Amino acid sequence: MSLITFTIICCITIVLCRLIHVYSYHKALRIEQEIYNENREPEPVKKPPSPYGLKREMHSQSKKWGYAITKNGYIYTASNGYFQIHHELEVAVQILWEMEDIGGYERTKFEFISNDPGTSRET
């Protein structure tokens, strides 16, 4: 075997070994990334802002002021066109939060309520 043939065989062997090394290295990086992604906690999903709110209204029969629930700025009415007036703020806020939880919206924060959790509870 001549020196040139021996040199060519050695060069081809070195190139093949280097290619195998690079392929193995990149495959190990992909496997490590997949394991990292599987063990990582998912980021919490940000809930959309709530379209609900409260509006002061006077009850037509009792002539007392109360709170009506609004959606997108309009008073939330029943199918017959009537809407509820809640005379106590805490009751109106609890109903508002229930509607936001059912719809999957972020809870409205009320600064003047002492036990205000602010955003929705994790379910």
Residue 123: the pLDDT is 40
DSSP state of 49: P
Query: Can you point out the beta strands (E) in 1-123?
Result: 52-58, 65-71, 74-75
Q: Which residues contact 104 (CB under 8 A, 6 or more apart)?
A: 47, 48
Residue 30 to residue 24: CA distance in whole angstroms: 10
pTM: 0.57
Distances (CA, A) of 34 to 27, 28, 54: 11, 10, 47
Tens digits of per-residue pLDDT, 26-83? 999 999 998 888 888 877 888 899 999 999 988 888 888 999 999 998 988 888 888 8
